[in-house]
Structure 1
Amino acid sequence: MLLSAFFSGSETGMMSVNRYRLRHLAQQGQPGAQRIQAMLAKPDRLIGLILIGNNLVNIAASAIATILCLRWFGDAGILIATFGTTLIVLIFAEVTPKTIAALHPERVATPASWILQPLLRVMYPVVAFINLLTNGLIRLLGINPQSPARADALSSDELRTVVNEASSMIPSSHQQMLLSILDLEKVTVEDVMTPRSDIVAIDVQSDVKSMMKQLSQAQYTRILLYRNEIDDAIGFLHARDIMQLFTKNSSELDKSEIVRAARDIYFIPEGTPLNVQLLKFQRYKERIGLVVDEYGDIQGLVTLEDILEEIVGEFTTTILPASTDNAVVESDGSIIVEGVANLRDLNKEMNWSLPTDGPKTVSGLIIETLGDIPQQPLCLRIDGYAMEIIESSDNLIKRVRFLPPSAI
């Protein structure tokens, strides 16, 4: 029974040990982890050894019990031995050791490996013969025993589950950053870009004084220059270049000097996932780009900071308005939201779940739902959220009131 308990517990402990922790300990040079990892590299041999030993001692125990009970109880001894051995094996050689091994797999697997490894060397001919027979039977069933087992690599969804379950060991801020990194592949540049209408840019066709004033009052490190319309963009003018222009020219700047100082534009196709764009920014040493559609029309502007904010959250030094500036909580519990408010930002800040697989703004979501831009106040419900349009124009819904659940 002790040998049976050993083999049963060893099997559960070996199969239940955390493979990633085991790999980490093995890389640190821990002998026990290296020994277990080497044995688990060929699980068919390990399982074959354990099952041979377990079945051998269980059958031997049953045979010995039967002989003893026949001597002690006569013909009734067969029945007594059958039920008695079954009960003892279940309690002391199966359930108890396997439960302990499942709760503490590393504590069981490490000392067991000291015995199993040399035993595997001694029993290898028998194990190999048994594996040969079983593999032949598996082939008769139409299964290839040599097919690769499931890889240890985790998918992004599985990694997300691991991070969520490790919340007690990871600070919440770090956990959120890890989850945000995993979500980058699901978010595109359109979700984080500054819309075309909000891009701060300077028309080089305007007079020099107006351009100088805009440049001197610019709150951004890079300003887009364009000719007549934003689709005819010329380049980005860096704040450092602006300072050099002002320093070198005590007199009035020439417009051509400003245009020549502009740097080339880096274009980003719409629909590019953020994880891909982050790598492209790194590869091409860029920090800013214009998002264009299939026709080459500019849709918005994306910076490296926009992608990093998706991972770490809003930077405290940013001069851009926070997403909560687009939402104001009223005394009755309703929330006034600007029509241009980004849906993903609202979902994050307000803990909502507005649909984000279509339009990116509140105005766009309502217009898509209604198929029109209402000119009068109107109430509607989208995905369970009751809202009231309180202000709109010919081409945009400007303000929307989200009603509290108690008012619905």
Structure 2
Amino acid sequence: MTLTLAITIGIIAALIVASAFFSGSETALTAASRARMHQLEKTDRRARVVNMLLESRQRLIGALLLGNNLVNILASAMATNVLISLFGDAGVVYATFVMTALLVIFAEVMPKTYAILHPDRVALAVSTPVRLVVLVFGPIAKAIDMIVRGVMQAFGAKIDSSQQLLSAHEELRGAISLHHSEGAVVKEDRDMLGGILDLRDLQVSDVMVHRTEMRTINADDPPEKIVQEVLASPNTRLPLWQEEPDNIIGVLHARDMLRALAAAKGDASAIDIAAIMTPPWFVPDTTSLQDQLNAFLRRKAHFALVVDEYGEVMGLVTLEDILEEIVGDIADEHDIVVQGVRPQPDGSIIVDGSVPIRDLNRHMDWSLPDDEATTIAGLVIHEARQIPEPGQAFTFHGFRFQVLRKMRNRIASLRITPLAKLPKPAAVKPAGAEPAEPRPAEPRSAEAKRVTSKPAVERPVAGKPTDEQPPTSSDR
């Protein structure tokens, strides 16, 4: 009897160890770094086994869960049998408490904690035995999976094993944000990595120089005037138009012009502009930045004109514009730097309406949405559903936007103030006054709810100065 009891207890202990193996293996294999396993695959055979197991993740998890439940049930049944023989019917209660404590502590918490702390090491160590477990229990796990799918589909649940909850880009972006919040990645590195991930989502229309800000030259002007305009421009490539500004016939490079000027021995009138200009390259405004970057590299070009679906010139995009989405603003000694962002002592900033939202977010570490608009002025017009007048103020997305200056139908300048930095009006309470009893809140009508859902608009009262007056004509 004593020998039989000792053997039974030994078998129960072995089953608990097996349960710990299954639990730890499941945690380690699901938490192991796929990137590190692919890196070790060339030199470590165990890493190849891990990658092979993770390729059929559902089969792996099913086999491990099946093995874990088998050993847990068998260990509990044997423990119940032993304790009933020792304590009678009360042994069932004792077995329940004892096995629950043993399985939770030694077969769940301890192995899973160690596997979480060292996932790669544990995954490599258990790869070979787990492969045997999958070979044994894999067919049974697959049959169980088919039954589960059939039952769930009978209740209308759709299961797509090939569909992933998060794409690779979303996983990388989430990892970058997590490491930044933990201090492992600085803001500059986060912006750079995020810019690389955004290349496929952004279009050239999001980063192009708009046609209203393009520097162009009339090809019919005398060569002397063209030379002066090229030398006065901070840009090295300038579009040439003929008859009308939208009719771009070529691109003039400052270096080619200087070579022609040197060949003419300084006589600008002897330069043939048509001979030194290059044909324009037109690209659709819907081209992604990733595709446009690859096109720049293939053509060994740096400059392209952006057109819409009707063939109208919308602006221009350069290789530098795309690179700035990754590394930030690039400026050299010849650039005329116009930041368009002027911080104020009260915590607000004055920005030009043409400042891109992405540039402002990167500069101020904000998160203004850029899905519906590219510039700050476009965001205000989109949210306000109107072209505001100077002096009007709007509140949305946690900021107060006040229009300072407007040129024709375009917002030229705004003041943006975070709501947290707005001065709070001090409540004046008369001495000895009793606190007023709170009145019950009146129910709002559906129309009132609809109105308050729009961005808050503050209109200047006639004859009453606003806190920000629009600049006069002398300031423009």
The TM-score bracket by the shorter chain reads 0.7 to 0.9
**Correspondent of 1:155 among 136, 150, 168:** 168
| Counterpart AA for 2:45 | P
Is the contact between residue 373 and residue 396 of structure 1 (CA under 8 Å) also seen in structure 2?
no
For structure 1, list consecutive stretches of 5 or more residues without a partner in the other structure: none
Aligned to 1:245: 260
Q: Which amino acid aligns with 1:22?
A: M
Tell whether the 8 Å contact from 1:204 to 1:255 is kept in structure 2 after alignment: no
Q: Secondary structure at the match of 1:225?
A: strand
1:358 & 1:57 partners in 2: Cα distance?
Answer: 57
Asked if the contact 1:266/1:286 (under 8 Å) is kept, the reply is no
Question: Structure 1 residues 236, 143: CA separation in 2 closer, same or farther (over 3 Å shift)?
Answer: same
1:363–1:109 distance in 2 versus 1, CA, 3 Å: closer
Relative to 1, partners in 2 of residues 1:330 and 1:251: Cα closer, same or farther, differing over 3 Å? closer
Query: Deviation at 1:359?
Result: 4.7
Cα distance, 1:246 vs structure 2: 0.8
List aligned pairs for 1:345-356, cutoff 5 A.
Answer: 345-356=359-370
Selected match of 1:130 from 117, 140, 160: 140
From the superposition, tell whether residues 24 and 399 of structure 1 become closer, same or farther in structure 2 (CA, over 3 Å). same
Q: Which residue does the alignment assign to 1:175?
A: 190
Aligned 1:86-97 pairs, distance under 5 A? 86-97=100-111
Q: How has the CA–CA distance of structure 1 residues 20 and 365 changed in structure 2, closer, same or farther, with 3 Å as cutoff?
A: closer
Aligned partners of 2:85, 2:230: CA distance in 1, in Å? 106
1-side partners of 2:208 and 2:324: how far apart? 12
> Which residue of the other structure, out of 31, 37, 44, is the alignment partner of 1:30?
44
Alpha-carbon shift at residue 200 of structure 1 (Å):
1.8
Q: Structure 1 pair 32/205, CA: closer, same or farther in 2 (3 Å)?
A: same
Q: Is it true that 1:112 corresponds to 2:122 in the alignment?
A: no
Structure 1 residue 303 displacement after superposition:
0.6
Q: Is the aligned partner of 1:381 residue 2:394?
A: yes
Letter in 2 for 1:130: I
Cα shift at 1:311: 0.8
- What 5-or-longer segments of structure 2 have no aligned partner? 1-15, 425-476
- Kindly indicate whether residue 346 of structure 2 is the aligned counterpart of residue 336 of structure 1: no
Contact 1:336 / 1:401 at 8 angstroms: preserved in 2?
yes
Paired residues for 1:14-53 under 5 Å:
14-26=29-41, 28-43=42-57, 46-47=60-61, 50-51=64-65, 53=67
Cα distance change of structure 1 residues 75 and 188 upon mapping to structure 2, 3 Å threshold: closer
Deviation at 1:213, TM superposition (A): 1.9
Flag the 1:25–1:328 CA change in 2: closer, same or farther, 3 A: same
Instruction: Tell me if 1:199 matches 2:214.
Output: yes
Secondary structure at the aligned position of 1:176 is classed as: helix
Which is worse superposed, 384-393 or 190-199? 384-393
Distance, in Å, in 1 between the alignment partners of 2:408 and 2:127 is: 76
Query: In structure 1, how many angstroms separate the alpha carbons of the residues matched to 2:54 and 2:386?
Result: 60
Q: Residue 10 of structure 1: CA displacement?
A: 2.5
Question: Which of 24, 44, 52 is 1:9 aligned to?
Answer: 24
Aligned length: 400
Q: Do the aligned residues in 2 keep the contact of 1:222 with 1:236 (CA within 8 Å)?
A: yes
Matched, 1:72 2:86: yes
Is the Cα–Cα contact under 8 Å of residues 391 and 398 in structure 1 kept in the other structure? yes
Give the Cα–Cα distance (whole angstroms) in 1 for the partners of residues 60 and 378 of structure 2. 60
RMSD of aligned alpha carbons: 3.5
Residues 183 and 65 (structure 1), Cα distance of their counterparts in 2 relative to 1, 3 Å cut: same
3-state SS in 1 of match to 2:199 = helix
Structure 2: distance between partners of 1:251 and 1:16: 70
The structure 2 residue matched to 1:185, chosen from 200, 210, 229, is 200
> What's the TM-score once normalised by structure 1's chain length?
0.83
Partner of 1:212: 227
One-letter code aligned to 1:181: I
Runs of 4+ in structure 1 over 6 Å off? none
> What does 1:247-262 align with in structure 2 at a 5 Å threshold?
247-250=262-265, 252-254=267-269, 257-262=272-277
**Secondary structure at the counterpart of residue 220 of structure 2:** coil
Other structure's SS at 2:196 match: helix
Distance 1:11 1:54 in 2: 10
CA 1:287/1:92 → structure 2, altered by over 3 Å: closer, same or farther? Answer: same
Q: 1:296 aligns with which of 295, 299, 311?
A: 311
Of 285, 289, 294 in structure 2, the residue corresponding to residue 270 of structure 1 is 285
CA apart distance, 1:138? 4.4
Distance in structure 1 (CA, Å) of the matches to 2:407 and 2:223: 34
**Aligned equivalents of 2:68, 2:373: Cα separation in 1:** 62
Cα distance change, pair 141–319 in 1 and its aligned pair in 2 (3 A): same
What does 1:217-228 correspond to in 2, within 5 Å?
217-228=232-243
Quick one: distance in 2 between partners of 1:393 and 1:142? 61
Cα distance in 2 for partners of 1:45, 1:351 equals 44
Whether contact under 8 Å (1:323, 1:345) holds in the other structure is no
Q: 1:320 to 1:219 in 2, by over 3 A?
A: closer
The CA deviation at 1:202 is 1.7
Contact kept, 8 Å, 1:387 with 1:402, in 2: the verdict is: yes
**Range 210-219 or range 389-398, more displaced:** 389-398
Query: Which residue of structure 2 aligns with residue 281 of structure 1?
Result: 296
> C-alpha distance in 1, partners of 2:113/2:399?
48
